[in-house]
Chain A
Amino acid sequence: MLRASFRKEGNAVWISHLDLMRVLQRAFRRAGIDLKHSQGFTPHPELSIALPMSVGISSDCELVDFTPAEGVELDPAEVPARLNPVLPAGLTVTDCWAEGRKLKHLVWLEARLTLVYDDGVPDGAAEAIQALLDRPELVVEKHGKKGPVEVDIRPMYRDVRLKREPDPAHPREDALTLTLVCAAQNPTLNPLLLPAAIERYAPEYRPDFTRCRRLRVLDAELEAFR
């Protein structure tokens, strides 16, 4: 099994998790990398993407695991250069290596939220939001399978930092940049629940729009996960 990390940004952020599998399966074919196929009625190339992500979120640290077909000699170092020319715009493989750690050790995700205020960041917004997110408990409404449920998301994130600073891709916007470390799985925290919490508890600081980017994947000790 090999593992590659890739960026997902620009218009590629609208590709859903399932569609991304198709996109990557086809890209491997175009790159001439034959993957191991599943057995059965409709054989398909085996490939798995860690931590499914909602559409609209960009990422610097997506992971895909794949297994070359039997007899295929593949130097992982070559993989980015072979895949990148055949990927649609917005997807870029940054690295590839063998023997990745077990995914259960992927515990935390570092993420960045850009809170965009069309009429300028309100005075005191950064302080108020910081104070809100540092409360000992933060209950939000989550849409579960059985309808809306109230969940305390406070244990699912840490290290919140806020700065009045625009998104690097949109330097002219007036925005707050919020970085945090959030739970990657069991259960995962959708970082977009944070603006929902702001709307509920501090509606005067509700951003007009929130952009989200995954920055790094981390293990339980907050070390980089590979």
Chain B
Amino acid sequence: MNAEIERRLERILPTVQKPARYVGGEYNQTVKDLAEVDTRVVFCFPDTYEIGMSNVGIRILYEAVNNMPGVWCERAFTPWGDMEEAMRANHIPLYALESHDPLADFDLIPISVGYEMSYTNILTMLDLAGIPLHASERKSLHNIVFAGGACTYNPEPLAEFFDFFSLGEGEESTVEIVNCYRSAKRAGLTKDEFLHEVAKIPGVYVPSFYEHRYNPDGTLAQIVPLHGAPAKVTKRIVQSLDAAVFPTKPIVPSTEIIHDRVNLEVMRGCIRGCRFCQAGYTYRPVRPRLPETLYRQAVDSLESSGDHEITLSSLSTSDYKFLEPLTDRMTDYCAARHIGLSVPSLRADNFSRDLMLKLQRVKKSGLTFAPEAGTQRLRDAINKNVTEEDILKTCEIAFSGGWNNVKLYFMLGLPTETDEDVLGIADLVFKILNTWKAHASNKKRGVRIHVATAFFVPKPFTGFQWEQQITPEEYLRRARLLKNSMFSKSVEYDYHDDRVSEMEAVFARGDRRLGPVIEAAWRRGAKLDGWLEYFDYDKWQAALRDCGIDPSFYTTRGFGLDEVLPWDTIDPGVRKDFLKRERERAYRSEITPDCRHGCAGCGANCLLEGGVCDA
């Protein structure tokens, strides 16, 4: 342990909230002997420990890198505001949790970026570590800062801060990147020479190798690859999830985190193709894990962690083909040991009484469904292939099975949405309430229907990537319209913050001109923007003004179908002409069947050896 940091920490930790998240030392963390380590990596997550430790990606890559002899991978998270302040006041640099060594001591600093509103946290972490914010200011091979994660499908707003981006799934590419770095270090390459080497790894995108030129109207004119860089960089996938590394000795946090349980990823990708959903497109092609692999991983992880809950995660777990054999085996194992088994992301169209009974053998958790839209027309337009009948039938099963708590998620501001669609949500909720009245097994306990609406944010690589976002005022009008149409005391309604969603939309489809905005907002004190207690809209407005940027360019304007898009350099497998076709179908309220009912030809199958999806 770093003695000086230790001494200062001891004095500030009693003054901050939840100090356990700042000291590491959890069961199953990896500690290596520095004498046997030639390369030090610190995985950073630009949000709190509780959020970051709930992220499966970080855990997988921590395992993958620590499996490499001679390489030690540690962790760092964004400190909460009180801790950041105390660290600055006491001159404590950001340190890695395992060794408590300052981040500046590390060779490679990968940062997992999954949410637009965490961008300022990246700057907070680099600054707290004393590492220059801009890639161009970091001249040597020391402190190479790169990123992966969902936001790197449009990394342009972050381009000036990162040396490179690792696109797609990192199990294999991260290991290749670390090895490339070790060779570069041994050979004494310059940073520039290293960047040329690392760019040869498939999936690695070096933003400084591309020049973005703009038209007088502000739209992108051209993206010019420099130094022989490829015009497109294709994301990486792992071919076999069964062979891919998976941490079966997970770190067990000593303090409660958001997902405080074993998280078993049953498949990657989603067969559905909801037109607003970035993950649904970018995680393609669909690849399941075999139930045998999963059962073994579940048992190993549960025994090694001592967790008393396990969740079967994926974008749509009830679509996992082997769900029944897997849950059969799992429920027997779990029930005998008081282990709760939960299945999130259920769909209302294939929810079965059987599955419900299995899941409540140990612990009964709430039911959550996401119909996303209130009318069939709009559900068809967004390709959420769920019918009202499915939803009501599912609720009937749940209510008669003793559930009295349902959460329903919707979106407001979806393309083509009218007031009729908004009122359709209230109508659906009313029908669900009536279903409860007709089928509740125990009416005395009452019912709670929790309705939540999100403000639609158009995302890159979706069928809606060109669409306009409605204004925050219009969103609030629709939210109020909905609120005033739901009368029952059993219904609770809340809606996402309009201003956060507006900013999210700016950065989701942003270009390189937004890098200075992020920095300006951060310099004005913006931090932890994903947390409403910190999010400060005025700071962002001021930062946009400072940089002469009109946010509506990225939100309500919409992007032209022939416009050069900032993310055009990136190839997620799914083709642009497919996305255009999906957009057209949306405007005709025409559904696209899921992958099992016929291949829609998205193009992601080309990423697979053999070119055939196992949907």
List the interface of chain A (C-beta within 8 A of B): 10-12, 14-16, 18-19, 22-23, 25-30, 34, 37, 41-45, 55-56, 86-90, 209, 211
Contact = CB atoms under 8 A, between A and B. Distances in A.
22 contacts: A11-B23, A12-B25, A14-B19, A16-B20, A19-B256, A22-B254, A22-B260, A23-B27, A26-B252, A27-B27, A27-B306, A29-B308, A30-B303, A37-B338, A41-B363, A44-B308, A45-B308, A86-B27, A86-B306, A88-B26, A209-B10, A211-B10
Contacts of B26: 88
A10 B6 CA distance: 10
Interface string B317-341: 0000000000000000000011010
B89 to A, nearest CB: 15
Given A19-B20, A55-B14, A88-B25, A29 B306 contact: yes
B306 A55 contact: no
Contacts of B255: 15-16, 19
Interface string B144-173: 000000000000000000000000000000
B14 A56 contact: yes
B14 A26 contact: no
Given A26-B307, A56-B13, 17 more contacts: A10-B25, A11-B25, A14-B23, A16-B255, A22-B254, A22-B260, A26-B306, A28-B306, A29-B307, A29-B308, A30-B305, A41-B363, A42-B363, A43-B338, A88-B25, A209-B10, A209-B11
Contact of B20 (A15, A26, A27, A87): A15
B363 A43 contact: yes
Interface in B1-38: 10-11, 13-14, 18-20, 22-27
Nearest to B1: A11
Given A19-B256, A43-B362, A43-B363, A89 B25 contact: yes
Q: 4 tightest CB-CB pairs across the interface, nearest first? A: A26-B306, A29-B306, A30-B306, A11-B23
Nearest to B7: A170
Nearest to B11: A209
Contacts of B256: 18-19, 22
A18 B255 CA distance: 9
B450 interface: no
B364 interface: yes
Given A41-B364, A55-B20, A25 B25 contact: no
Contacts of A15: 20, 254-255
Interface residues of B, number: 30
Q: Is the interface of B mostly helix, strand, loop or mixed?
A: loop
A211 B362 CA distance: 43
A56 B19 contact: yes
A56 B10 CA distance: 8
B66 interface: no
B30 to A, nearest CB: 13
Nearest to A87: B27
Interface in B534-592: none
B304 interface: yes
B366 to A, nearest CB: 12
A56 to B, nearest CB: 4
Given A16-B255, A37-B338, A56-B14, A30 B308 contact: no
A28 B27 CA distance: 13
Which of B18, B22, B256, B306: most chain A Cβ within 10 A?
A: B306
Contact of A26 (B305, B337, B363): B305
A42 B260 CA distance: 15
Contacts of A12: 25, 254
B6 to A, nearest CB: 9
B271 to A, nearest CB: 33
A5 B509 CA distance: 57
A32 to B, nearest CB: 8
A97 B106 CA distance: 47
B287 to A, nearest CB: 31
A87 B24 CA distance: 14
A31 to B, nearest CB: 8
Contacts of B364: 41
A87 B26 CA distance: 9
Contacts of B337: 29, 34
Given A19-B254, A19-B256, A45-B338, A88 B23 contact: no
Interface in B118-141: none
A125 B18 CA distance: 34
A95 B423 CA distance: 65
Contacts of A89: 25
Given A43-B338, A86-B27, A14 B22 contact: yes
Which of B11, B23, B254, B303: most chain A Cβ within 10 A?
A: B254
Contacts of B23: 11, 14
A130 to B, nearest CB: 25
A88 B20 CA distance: 12
Contacts of A19: 20, 254-256
A26 B305 CA distance: 7
Given A55-B20, A56-B13, A88 B254 contact: yes
Contacts of A30: 27, 303-306
A9 B115 CA distance: 37
A44 B108 CA distance: 41
Nearest to B303: A30
Contacts of B254: 12, 15, 19, 22-23, 88
Interface in B449-502: none
A29 B336 CA distance: 13
A156 B502 CA distance: 57
Interface string B243-261: 0000000001011100010
